[in-house]
Homo-oligomer: A and B are copies of this chain.
Amino acid sequence: MQAVLTAEEMTEFLAEVFPQVKEDFVVESVDGVNTVMRLKVAERHLRPGGTVSGPSMFSLADVSAYVATLARIGKEALTVTTGCSMDFMRKPEAGKDLIAHTTLLKLGRTLSVSNILIYSEGSDAPVARANMTYAIPPK
């Protein structure tokens, strides 16, 4: 259950496959089971009132589960989201990045399942929870 890619390799790979969001995300750490990612919150992620938008949090959860899966199976760009659910529990703090802690619960032959908790940096009360299922392309 070890990662086959480092955080640096994952960051480079993300920039290559998702060039339009490469300014948004940083892979903070990655091992075979746990992944930590940062959303560098900028104006374009905000709703009026200064809160981070739902779609921005969805993106963070989605890319986190993608990274958690690829950390184990390698650079399979065609791994795609098939399902998710999210609960939005607290208002993110204005002016703080969001940090996502992801646990890879299952890596099967055709599917991976991840749990994600999202926090405003420096807080220990989660702003959102998510679970994501990815379909892994056949070899």
Contacts and interface: CB of A to CB of B under 8 A. Distances in A.
A80 interface: yes
Q: Count copies of this chain in the complex.
A: 4
A18 B106 CA distance: 28
Interface in A84-113: 84-90, 105-106, 108, 110-111, 113
Chain A: interface size category: 35 or more
A18 B44 CA distance: 11
A55 B45 CA distance: 12
A113 B74 CA distance: 28
Contact of A131 (B82, B88, B129): B129
B83 A133 contact: yes
A50 interface: no
Interface string A1-37: 0000000000000000110100000000000000000
Contacts of A47: 18
Given A20-B44, A54-B62, A129-B131, 7 more contacts: A54-B58, A55-B62, A58-B58, A87-B106, A105-B126, A106-B126, A115-B129
